[in-house]
Structures are given as C-alpha cells and as structure tokens.
Amino acid sequence: MRLLISVGLAAALLPLQMQGSWPRVLDAAGLDAARVTVLEGDSAEARRHGFRPGAGHVEVRSVTDAMLPALQIVWAQPQRVPRFEVPAGATVFTRERWTGAPLAAGLRRGDTVIFWTATAIGEKGYERYPYIPQALAELGLRPKLESRALWAFFDSSYRLRADPDYLAARWRRGGVSALHIAAWHYWEPDLRRDAWLAKLIEACHRHAITAYAWVELPHVSEEFWRAHPEWREQTAAGQDAHLDWRRLMNLTSPNCAAAVDAGLRTLLARFDWDGVNLGELYFESLEGYLNPARFTPFNADVRRRFEQLAGVDPKELYDPKSRAWHLRDANPLRRFLEFRAQLAGELQEEWLGRIEAMKKDRPWLDVALTHVDDRFDTTMRDNLGADAARLLPAAARRGAAFLAEDPATVWHLGPERYEEMARRYAAIAPPGVRLGVDVNVVERYQDVYPTRQQTGSELLQLVRAATRSFGRVALYFENSILAPDWPLLAAAAAPGRASQLQDGAWQAHLEQTAALEWDGCALVNGAPWPARSEGRLLLPAGEWKVERCEGAAEPLLKDFNGELLAVERAGGRLRIEYESRARAIAILAGEPDKVVLLPPGRRTEWLN
C-alpha cells in the first residue's frame, strides 16, 4: 500500500506501513490499515486524488464534525492552512466552524478508502480530528472482531419513559454483557418505577445481559435521608453531608446499619438481579482535609471512637490552638487519616460480609466492588480513605470482582495510564483476584482538547488500552457515551486479532470470547459452527481458522454472555462448556426439549 503524508506543505512518501499516530488510530477501532490510503496536507499524491489548495488560507481553531455537528471541538493550537478543494464524490467530515472550509474528507476507490486531512492528525491521533475512525467506518471500513464482555453503568434518572427493549438491544450491539443499575432509585417500593425496572431487567435478559444492583453506600436513597436525619453523616464543618448528588449516612451507627441491611435485603428480593455492585464505599472528599465542608466522617460515633483511641476529638484538628496540636503525637492529623482509612476498610469488609449472608437465599448473585484507584493517584488514600491494598485480599476471598475506578484527577491523561495502573495493581493483587477497570466517560474539569468529554478516537484508545491491561472493562456510564461511539466500542474492546489468509479464510487469535463478523455458513477449525447470529460468529478464546461452507446451516446458539470454553453440535445435541460468576444467559434459535446441567468443570447440554 502506498501512503503519502506531509508536514506543513512539504510532502514525504512513507514506507508501505503506517507511520506516526495513524496505526494507533486504526488499531483502536480494529480497522484494517491495508485498506486505507492516508493523505495529509498538500502533496503530489493528494492532488492526484483531487485534494488541492485553492485561493486563500483559513485560521483553524474551532471545527465541526458531521458525526456530531453540535459538539464543541477546539484545537489546542490554531493552525493556518490553505482553503482546499476536494474531489467530486468525496464526503467532507470535518470543517472549520466559521468558514466551512474542508479539513477532513474521504472517498472509496474500489476496496480502498482514500482519507485526507488538511493538517497532520497529531502525536496522539485525536488532537484535531476525533472522529476519524467513525468516518472510515462510514466509508465502508468495518472492524472484524468485537468484544461481547463489556460492563456498563446505568442511571435511570429521567429515562423511565425509554423503551427497555430498545435500550437493551443497543447495549448488546455495543458489546455490553452486564448492566450495573443505579438501585438507590428503587430502594423504597413504588409501583410505577418498580414495574419499569422489572421490564428493564427482563429486556436485558432477553438480550443476554445480566443485571447488577449498583449501590453507593453510604448513600442509601433520598427518602432514607429525609426519614432519618439522626443518622446523617456530618462534615468537618458540622454540616449534614449532602455532597453533590450523594446524601451520606452514618454506617458506623448500629441502628443505621441494621436499617440499611434490611432495606438492601428487600431490594434484592424484589427484582430478578444477577449480582450486586458495592460501589465507592469510603469517605469524602477529593480535596481531602483541606476542604472541611466536604471532609467526612465527622459524625458523633466516629468522633467518640477516635477520641477514645487518640485522646482528642477530631474537631480539634481544625483548631491550631487546641490541645490536639500540643500532644506528644506530633502529627495528630496523620493519625486521623490512618484511622479513617482503616475505618473505610472495616466498613467495606463488613458490607461484603452482609452481602455474602444475603446470598444464602440467592446463591447465584455475583459481587463486584467499584473502588477508586489509589495506586496511580496515591493522594486518594488520604483524600477518600481508599486503600486498595487492604481491600483486594477481602475481594479475592469472597470471589468479588474488583473494578479500579479512574479518579477525576487523572481523566485528562492519555490511554497509557492504564498500563501503568495495571502494573501497580499486579504488585498488590493476590492470586485469583478478578481485576478490572472502570473507565469514566464524562466531562472533565481540566483544560482538555479537542473535546471536554472523551469521545471518538480518544475514547476508543482508552477502551483498547484498558482492555489490554485489565481482564474486565466497565464504562461509566452508558448514557454519557456519545452516539457516534457506540458502533465501535465493542471493536475497541476486542480481545484479540483476526487476519485474512491467502485462501480467503480468516485466522483469529482470541484471548477471551469474541464475535467475528461473518455472514452465512461457517466452518471453524473444519467443523460446522453452531454459534452464529446477526452477521457474527461467537468464538471462544483460542486459535481459530474460519472458512466458508456450502448450504444454509442454521445456528443453534444465537448469543451467550458467559465465557465460552467450547461449543459442539452432535446430531440434535448442542454442548456448551463455559465459565461465569453470574448466571450465564444463552439465546437459542429454538426451544430445547431438555436442558441437562452437568457437574462443575464439565459441559452444559441442550438436547433438541
């Protein structure tokens, strides 16, 4: 393949492989570089394809993109470029906001996509043109592999009129296998809301998505907060701890803890949950003790306990004239911060135990922990009382998944941070722990370019890097993911690679279950393959050769959200060998006559 790239207006012919940040951009979306000819700026090759500088120049700082015209896209540094003409038949994707001058465009010529940008795309690949992968997909370049194992968070606020089947189908197309539903909205029974949630969980199950009750203790619910002012958490400033959207309760109070335990038991019994996510059970705030208006816990129970331990009321830590600053302990604040981190760990283990007890009635419930990362940003331990090193062994003992959550302080950093995060967790993770990462897709408070929120190539690179660094990737949250990103999310999380062989067959190397784009009958390693639906083959981890076959072999297994180990078809019998911590959901092409569950470590059989 020939590539041409220019720096400024100087053209330079590249070798036959991608250079600069282009390989990263294409790899993040699973796109085939062999089918793309890339052109940047003005060059003889660009002119040959019809991209020519016209009269005048334009100063570019703010741009619009056809993928999401309303999105604010701002370049960190303005660029002065010629006002280019594009060939007839080319689709212009990106324009300068005020003049409409074309900045990125592409067209198809046979099996090849010609893609041109007026400037270099930048060192990271998303500094100026965030939606290059989406534009290439629009031109017919499609990924071959997709993940079927993403997790996503869901908050139903203001969405009770949305069609559950529409939502579930959209999530599954995006590769979601488990949905973590904000359960605090349903803590107290309500006929209308409960009916909608029941329908949502049913729709998720119909689309092979498991449903987790996501709880955010010490926040319980708005009604619980209103009903129990005596149990409200207090800040160091002496105020009720209503911080952002969370209304924090004092879980160190035995009466409060008992009421929350009873409420959680009722919540888990009212709906057909597949798991529980115990999220962010520690203290506030991101600014730590420097902001007493947000710093917790300062309820009477905690203050009394610390005073018995250290001989000083924590309130005195904010008074330089108090006796706290004249004790033999030269740093009473440090002692309180250590006490606070230990208390957070105790609460986490206590509530893991409580949920374990609740599983006696529902043994199929999986458990996940979402815990802010304090290994990459080490300030989180003092600021929030979060200590992953303490919690990981408890998670491993109880078989809970552990999701390390990106703190807001690092949201502006690039995808490379996940590799470093994974390295640091590997040093403290006990054997067998189910380690994952929670990627926050939200507007950032830092000065970031070209978009306030992660989208386009930046988001795809984040998901790709997270997938390669952690065994599980969760996205916060499904409604913040912008529309252009959904079609390529599953490809960004694809756990392996696929390449076409000279005979037209495909070779796939997979690290976990994935879907391979495919239409019609397929032979996988020489045998007819029964796991197929909607233009995809579902393949387990391993090495696979996929070839076309004659006939119209009907699929038996249309979808499955567990980790496939093997799939076989023998006569009218379908065998599925799999692993899953939660209930695994199989979508069959027809009704089975009989289902036989064999002992653990063996297979599950459907007999037709």
pLDDT tens string 314-361? 998 888 777 665 555 558 889 999 999 999 999 999 999 999 999 999
Structural domains of the chain, count = 3
Q: Are residues 72 and 216 in the same domain?
A: no
The pLDDT, as a whole number, for residue 3 is: 32
Quick one: 300 and 447 in the same domain?
yes
pLDDT at 38 over 70: yes
Helices (H), 8-160: 22-28, 44-48, 132-138
Task: Identify whether residues 442 and 505 lie together within a single domain.
Answer: no
- Select the more confidently predicted residue: 507 or 158: 507
What's the pLDDT band for 498 if we cut at 50, 70, 90? very high
Place of tokens 């009218």: 572
Pair of tokens at residue 552: 């119209």
pLDDT band of 165, cuts 50, 70, 90: very high
* In a shared domain, residues 310 and 443: yes
Domain presence at residue 165? no
Per-residue pLDDT band for 12 (boundaries 50, 70, 90) equals very low
Task: Name the pLDDT band for 18 (thresholds 50, 70, 90).
Answer: low
Residue 437, pLDDT above cutoff 60: yes
Close Cβ partners of 298 (under 8 Å, ≥ 6 residues apart): 233, 234, 235, 236, 238, 314, 315
Would you place residue 159 in the very low, low, confident or very high pLDDT band (cuts 50, 70, 90)? confident
- The arithmetic mean of pLDDT across residues 162-181, rounded, is 97
- pLDDT (0 to 100) of residue 13: 36
Looking at the fold, whether 505 and 440 belong to one and the same domain comes out as: no
pLDDT band at 63 (very low <50, low <70, confident <90, very high): very high
Strands in 86-229 per DSSP E: 91-96, 102-109, 112-117, 145-147, 150-154, 176-182, 210-215
The secondary structure of residue 473, as a DSSP letter, is E
- 48 and 92 share one domain: yes
334 contact partners, CB below 8 Å, separation of at least 6:
none
CA atoms 96, 97, 99, 102: torsion sign = positive
Whether pLDDT at 107 is above 70: yes
Q: Where are the alpha helices (DSSP H) in 274-331?
A: 300-310
- How many angstroms separate the CA atoms of 223 and 499, rounded? 55
CB-based contact 474:510 (threshold 8 Å): no
pLDDT (0 to 100) of residue 329 = 54
Residue 168 lies in a domain: no
Q: And the tokens for 317? A: 């830590």
User: How large is the average pLDDT for residues 541-553?
Assistant: 91
Q: What is the pTM of this model?
A: 0.94
Are 503 and 436 within one domain? no
Boundary-marking domain end, from 492, 510, 545: 492
Q: What is the pLDDT of residue 552?
A: 73
The predicted pLDDT at position 148 comes to 96
Of 142, 166, 187, which residue sits at a domain end? Answer: 142
Choosing from 142, 163, 193, the residue where a domain stops is 142
Q: Are residues 321 and 418 in the same domain?
A: yes
**How is residue 389 written in tokens?**
């090193």
- Residue 194 pLDDT grade (very low, low, confident, very high; cuts 50, 70, 90): very high
- Residue 64 covered by a domain: yes
> What secondary structure letter does DSSP report for 598?
P
Shared domain for 264 and 216, answered yes or no, is yes
Domain range for residue 554? 497-607
The reply to whether 505 and 464 lie within a common domain is: no
What is 520-583 written as a DSSP string? S-EEETTEE--BEETTEEEE-SEEEEEEE-SS-PPPSEEEE-SEEEEEEEETTEEEEEEE-SS-
Residue 324 has a pLDDT of: 62
Domain at 414, CATH number:
3.20.20.80
Query: Does residue 545 have a pLDDT over 90?
Result: yes
| Share above pLDDT 70 across residues of the chain, in percent, rounded to a whole number | 94
H or E stretch covering 36: strand 36-40
* d(C-alpha 342, C-alpha 385), whole Å: 8
Question: Does the residue 238 lie in any domain?
Answer: yes
The reply to whether 303 and 238 lie within a common domain is yes
Q: Say what percent of the chain tops pLDDT 90.
A: 85
Lowest-pLDDT choice from 188-197, 433-442, 509-518, 561-570:
561-570
Residue 606 has pLDDT above 60, yes or no: no
Position 600 scores a pLDDT of 60
DSSP run (H or E) holding 515: strand 514-517
State the CB neighbour count (10 A cutoff) for residue 359. 16
- 519 and 383 inside one domain: no
Question: Is it the case that residue 10 has pLDDT exceeding 50?
Answer: no
Crossing angle (nearest 10°) for helices 388-398 and 332-358: 10
Mean pLDDT of the chain: 92
Helices H / strands E in the chain, number of each: 14, 33
CA-based radius of gyration for the chain: 27
Distance CA 183, CA 439 (A): 20
State the Cα–Cα distance between residues 353 and 378, nearest whole angstrom. 27
Does pLDDT of 577 surpass 90? yes
Q: pLDDT tens across 247-305, in order?
A: 999 999 999 999 999 999 999 999 999 999 999 999 988 899 999 999 999 999 999 99
How far, in Å, CA of 14 to CA of 28, rounded? 21
β-strand partners of 279: 370
Residue type, 295: F
Pairing mode of beta strands 594-597, 604-607: antiparallel
Tell whether 285 is covered by a domain.
yes
| pLDDT > 50? residue 16 | no
Q: Output 246 or 595, whichever has higher pLDDT.
A: 246
pLDDT over 80 (residue 15):
no
Q: What is the mean pLDDT of residues 386-406?
A: 97
Residue 499, pLDDT > 70, answer yes
Residue 539 belongs to some domain of the structure: yes
Cβ-Cβ contacts under 8 Å for 4 (sequence gap 6 or more)? 11, 12, 13, 14, 37, 38, 39, 40, 43, 44, 45, 46
The pLDDT tens digits of the residues spanning 452-484 come to 999 999 999 999 999 999 999 999 999 999 999
At residue 564, what is the residue type?
L
Count of beta carbons in the 10 Å neighbourhood of residue 522 = 24
End-to-end, the C-alpha distance of the chain in Å comes to 50
Please indicate, yes or no, if residue 520 is contained in any of the structural domains: yes
- Residue 605 scores a pLDDT above 70: no
Domain for residue 34, yes or no? Answer: yes
User: Which band of pLDDT confidence, cut at 50, 70 and 90, is reported for residue 6?
Assistant: very low
Average pLDDT estimate for 427-453 = 96
pLDDT at 17: 43
Distances (CA, A) of 146 to 30, 127, 490, 531: 8, 26, 5, 15
Between strands 3-7 and 275-279, the pairing is unpaired
